[in-house]
Amino acid sequence: MTTARDLSLVATDPQTGSVVEQGELSLALAGAELVDLVDAASVILDGDLLVPGGPPPADDPLLLEAASLLERGVPHETVGDWLWRRGRDLAARYRTALEDDGLVAPARRPRNPLRRTRPAPVDASALLLARDRLTSGDPVLAGFAAAAGVTEPPADTLAGLTDDHAAVLAAVHQAVTELAAERQRRSIETAAFDNIWRGA
């Protein structure tokens, strides 16, 4: 199981007690994919640039797809640019993949379209393995789970991480911060626009 699939699974876990924002989860999933590609030497980090390396792992379709999307030309793409490009709607795509594989139940459509829901796990063994990886102190999964808002951040967010892992995780945290700031900006603008129409 890849880091991204484990992350997607623990995001469905009712024991986490939180509903994760899809934007943050998508960025974290893109980072998790990148870490798995770095570990497989399919991509090499040169500072914050992504240099394509050897062939990707062949056992996961979404990871294969991620590897195929790496920019082969020069100049190479930055980690941050990759997160925004690859992360678009990635949480929904992973959820669909987990549903198709029978690892989670299809999400029930809520009566209130504004209400967010999480799919219920089906394959308990897959969830247990992902949960065990998280609770055992795996620093990579724990770091990305915290970045996505699935869990609280560990006391030392960089403990046990390689330099490459830490660089990718830092880029994810920066992207999540930027996303939150943009969301807040839009909320303020919307509220100001509504006040104008109400004559406030």
Q: Which two tokens stand for residue 10?
A: 């623990």
18 compared with 44, residue with greater pLDDT: 44
Residue labelled with tokens 């690859």: 86
Q: Is the pLDDT of residue 113 over 60?
A: no
What average pLDDT does range 2-12 have in this prediction? 93
pLDDT, tens digit, 9 for 90 and up, residues 133-163: 998 989 999 999 999 999 887 777 667 899 9
* Phi–psi pair at 163, nearest 5 degrees: -60, -40
**Mean confidence (pLDDT) of the chain:** 85
pLDDT on residue 47: 92
* Coil, helix or strand at residue 33: helix
pLDDT on residue 1: 82
* Phi–psi pair at 43, nearest 5 degrees: -145, 145
pLDDT on residue 159: 76
pLDDT, tens digit, 9 for 90 and up, residues 159-182: 789 999 999 999 999 999 999 888
pLDDT on residue 123: 67
Distance (Å, whole) CA 128 – CA 19: 19
